[in-house]
C-alpha cells in the first residue's frame, strides 16, 4: 500500500533528576554536597533511509516516545545520557508541525537527519546550588521535560520529471515503454491509484527519474477525484510533461484539456507555472489525431515544445526524451518553500520577548497561571523538599507572577492553579 501522508506524535525523553546527597567519608569533616546531575533525555531524530519508498511503517506505529536520562548519583556522579531514538523515513519526507503549520524539516538526501522532538536536559544535583551562604543545600532539580509535538509527515516523491494529464491519456503506458517500471494499465479511469517511478535513459546515455502521477480532473486542487491526493508529488519535479490524448477518444477538446490541467497546477501552487514544461501529443496512431494536432498548434499561444508520439507504437519517443533531458540540464532547483523574514529574523537583546506567563480567572474563581517557561520550571521542581519549594517561590516572584496576581485582584488565601496543582496565594 502506498502511504504518503500520516500524522504522528513524538516526545523527547525527560532529563534525569538531580541527586541530593553528601560526602560521608570518615576523615572528611564537613564533607559538603555531592549530588550528581541527571543525564540528558533522548531526542527523537528522523533519518533518511534510501531504501524506503513509502510511509507505510508509520500507519500502525504513530507514537514515538524517547527514553529519559538516568538520574544523578551520589559522589558527584553524572547520570547517563540516553541514546537518541532514530526513526527512519524515506527520501522526500517533509515534516510539518501540526499546531503551527511550520515546516520543521525537509529530508531529501540519504543519511540526512533532523531533530523532531528534543530531549530535556538533566536536572542539577545539590552540588550545583552550594554557595558561601548555603554550603550544604538540600535542593536539586528534576529533569527538564522533553519536547512533545504532533507532526504531519508528507512524502513528496523525488522525481526529476512528472507526467500530468487527464485520466486515460496514456501516462502509465508512456512510462512503461521508456523505463523498466511496470505500472497498472487499463482502459478505464483512475487505473493508477499511486504514483509510479521509473528511471529513463536517453540514446546519448543521460538518465533521469520520471513519475507517473494519477490522473487529474477539474477541481483537483479542491479535493475532486483522486489527483488531489498526489498533487504534492509534482512540487519536487523540475520538468512537467503534459500528456494529452490528441485523438480525443473520450470526446474532450485536447486544448481545453491542456488549459484545465494548467489551471489546476496554478490553483494548487502558483510556483508550478515556473517549471519548464513539454507537451506530449499522445495516441498519434489513432484516426483524427493529426487534424486535432493542427488545431491544437493554432490555438496554443505560448512557445512550448510539442512532441507527437504514440506510446503504443513507440514512435517519436527518442526526440521527446532528448528534449526532456535538455530541459533538465537547464532547469534550476525549485525550493519547496521560502523562509519568511519572521522565521529568519534574529531576536536581539533589546527587543521585548513574549510574555513568560498568562493569568486567567476560571469559572470556579481560581486563578490559572500558564506559560511554557513557567510550566518548565514547575515540572523541574522537587516539591518533596522544602528548600526546593522555597526556590520555586523565589523564581515565581522574580518572573513577576506575584505582582501580576496582585494586579488582577488576588487576595490573601485565594487559590492559584498551575497545571493541575493548586496553591494558596499568601501575602
Alpha carbons within 13 angstroms on the beta-carbon side of residue 285 total 9
Cα(107)–Cα(98) distance, integer angstroms: 17
- For residue 307, the SS3 value is strand
User: Order of strands, edge to edge, in the sheet holding 63-65?
Assistant: 63-65, 5-11, 148-155, 93-97, 103-107
Residue 398 burial (CB < 10 Å; 0-12/13-18/19+)?
Answer: exposed
DSSP of 95-126 = EEETTT--EEEEE-STT-EEEEEPPPPPPPPG
> Per the structure block, which three cell numbers stand in for 145?
521535560
Can you state the angle between helices 386-399 and 372-379, rounded to 10 degrees? Answer: 170
pTM: 0.72
Q: What angle do CA 334, 320, 242 make, to 5 degrees?
A: 55
pLDDT (tens place) for every residue of the chain, 427 residues total: 457 789 999 999 999 999 999 988 888 777 889 999 999 999 999 999 987 877 888 888 899 999 999 999 999 999 999 999 999 998 888 899 998 888 898 888 889 999 999 999 999 999 999 999 999 899 999 999 999 999 999 887 767 888 888 887 888 888 888 886 565 554 434 444 567 778 888 888 888 888 887 766 555 444 444 445 556 677 778 888 989 988 888 778 888 888 888 888 888 776 777 888 899 888 888 888 889 899 988 888 888 888 898 888 888 888 888 998 998 888 776 655 544 434 434 444 444 455 678 889 888 888 999 988 899 999 999 999 999 999 999 998 998 999 998 888 888 888 999 988 888 888 7
Cβ atoms within 10 Å of 322's Cβ, excluding its own: 15
Can you state the angle between helices 254-268 and 289-299, rounded to 10 degrees? Answer: 50
Q: What does residue 365 show for φ and ψ, rounded to 5 degrees?
A: 90, -5
Cα(329)–Cα(313) distance, integer angstroms: 28
Amino acid at each position: 500500500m502506498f502511504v504518503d501522508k500520516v500524522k504522528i506524535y513524538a516526545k523527547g525523553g525527560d532529563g534525569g533528576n538531580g541527586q541530593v546527597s553528601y560526602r560521608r567519608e570518615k576523615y572528611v569533616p564537613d564533607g559538603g554536597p555531592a549530588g550528581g546531575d541527571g543525564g540528558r533525555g533522548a531526542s527523537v531524530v528522523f533519518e533518511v533511509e534510501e531504501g524506503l519508498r513509502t510511509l507505510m511503517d508509520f500507519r500502525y506505529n504513530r507514537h514515538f516516545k524517547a527514553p529519559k536520562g538516568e538520574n544523578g548519583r551520589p559522589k558527584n556522579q553524572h547520570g547517563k545520557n540516553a541514546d537518541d531514538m532514530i526513526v527512519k523515513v524515506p527520501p522526500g519526507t517533509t515534516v510539518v508541525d501540526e499546531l503551527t503549520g511550520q515546516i520543521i524539516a525537509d529530508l531529501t538526501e540519504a543519511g540526512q537527519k533532523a531533530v523532531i522532538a528534543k530531549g530535556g536536559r538533566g536536572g542539577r544535583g545539590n552540588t550545583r546550588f552550594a554557595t558561601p551562604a548555603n554550603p550544604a543545600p538540600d535542593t536539586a532539580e528534576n529533569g527538564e521535560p522533553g519536547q512533545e509535538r504532533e507532526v504531519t509527515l508528507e512524502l513528496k516523491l523525488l522525481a526529476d520529471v512528472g507526467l500530468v494529464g487527464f485520466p486515460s491519456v496514456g501516462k502509465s503506458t508512456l512510462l512503461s515503454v521508456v523505463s523498466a517500471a511496470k505500472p497498472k494499465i487499463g482502459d478505464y479511469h483512475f487505473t493508477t491509484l499511486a504514483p509510479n517511478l521509473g528511471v529513463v535513459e536517453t540514446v546519448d546515455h543521460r538518465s533521469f527519474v520520471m513519475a507517473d502521477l494519477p490522473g487529474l480532473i477539474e477541481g483537483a486542487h479542491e479535493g475532486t477525484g483522486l489527483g488531489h491526493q498526489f498533487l504534492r508529488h509534482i512540487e519536487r519535479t523540475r520538468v512537467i510533461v503534459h500528456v494529452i490524448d490528441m485523438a480525443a477518444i473520450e470526446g474532450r477538446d485536447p486544448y481545453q484539456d491542456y488549459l484545465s490541467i494548467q489551471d489546476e497546477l496554478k490553483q494548487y501552487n502558483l510556483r508550478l507555472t515556473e517549471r519548464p514544461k513539454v507537451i506530449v501529443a499522445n495516441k498519434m496512431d489513432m484516426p483524427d489525431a493529426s487534424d486535432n494536432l493542427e488545431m491544437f498548434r493554432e490555438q496554443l499561444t505560448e512557445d512550448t515544445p510539442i512532441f507527437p508520439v504514440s506510446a503504443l507504437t513507440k514512435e517519436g519517443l527518442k526526440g521527446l526524451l532528448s528534449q526532456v533531458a535538455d530541459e533538465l540540464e537547464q532547469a534550476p532547483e525549485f525550493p519547496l518553500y521560502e523562509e519568511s523574514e519572521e522565521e529568519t529574523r534574529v531576536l536581539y537583546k533589546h527587543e521585548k520577548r513574549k510574555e513568560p506567563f498568562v493569568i486567567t480567572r476560571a469559572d470556579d474563581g481560581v486563578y490559572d497561571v500558564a506559560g511554557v517557561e513557567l510550566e518548565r520550571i514547575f515540572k523541574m521542581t522537587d516539591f518533596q523538599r522544602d528548600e526546593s519549594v522555597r526556590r520555586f517561590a523565589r523564581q515565581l516572584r522574580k518572573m513577576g507572577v506575584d505582582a501580576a496576581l496582585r494586579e488582577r485582584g488576588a487576595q490573601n488565601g485565594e487559590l492559584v492553579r498551575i497545571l493541575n496543582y493548586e496553591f494558596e496565594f499568601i501575602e
